[in-house]
């Protein structure tokens, strides 16, 4: 993907109106969503095709449900749940995810999976990697601070 097309896709990801998955109204994908997906290891959302293929059906469902929870539950609830998930995954699933799943219609989950499949390319475009600078022959030269 050329840099201009990538920038356009990144802007689309963050500026799209909130989608809906069945009865769920999802928040637009944000930098916070990206951070939580990384911290919670949601390879269904951010992983490679090989990562996704290696997941069991149960793990795929858990990751999709977790993503839907992150994108639709009240933000304060998501913040508390994410903290607990990093400390104790089982407690997170028992205290937050199970209640959410019990109220999640299967049809909504199926529609969400379809939306995710369509949007995965945009999620990938929203990610970025830092590339280390090449060292000059005389050693590393410091750059002036940005915006100076």
Whole-model pTM: value is: 0.65
The alpha helices in the chain, defined as continuous H runs, are 3-15, 31-39, 43-46, 49-53, 57-72, 75-87, 89-92, 98-102, 106-126
Cα angle vertex 11, ends 29, 4, to 5°? 140
| Better pLDDT: 84 or 17 | 84
User: In whole angstroms, what is the distance from residue 125 CA to residue 77 CA?
Assistant: 28
**148 has pLDDT over 70:** no
Residue 41: CB atoms within 10 A of its CB come to 16
Q: Where are the domains of the chain?
A: 3-126
pLDDT digits (tens, 9 = 90+) for 84-136: 999 999 999 999 999 999 988 888 777 777 776 666 555 555 555 556 666 65
**13 has pLDDT over 50:** no
């Amino acid at each position: 993907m050329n840099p201009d097309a990538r920038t356009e896709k990144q802007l689309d990801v963050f500026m799209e109106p909130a989608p809906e998955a069945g009865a769920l109204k999802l928040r637009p994908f944000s930098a916070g969503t990206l951070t939580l997906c990384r911290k919670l290891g949601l390879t269904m959302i951010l992983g490679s095709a090989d990562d996704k293929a290696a997941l069991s059906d149960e793990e795929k469902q858990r990751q999709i449900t977790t993503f839907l929870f992150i994108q639709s539950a009240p933000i304060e609830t998501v913040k508390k749940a994410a903290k607990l998930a990093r400390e104790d995954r089982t407690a997170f699933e028992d205290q937050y995810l199970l209640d959410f799943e019990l109220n999640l219609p299967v049809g909504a989950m199926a529609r969400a999976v379809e939306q995710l499949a369509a949007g995965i390319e945009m999620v990938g475009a929203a990610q970025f990697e830092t590339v280390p600078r090449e060292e000059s022959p005389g050693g590393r030269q410091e750059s002036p601070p940005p915006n100076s």
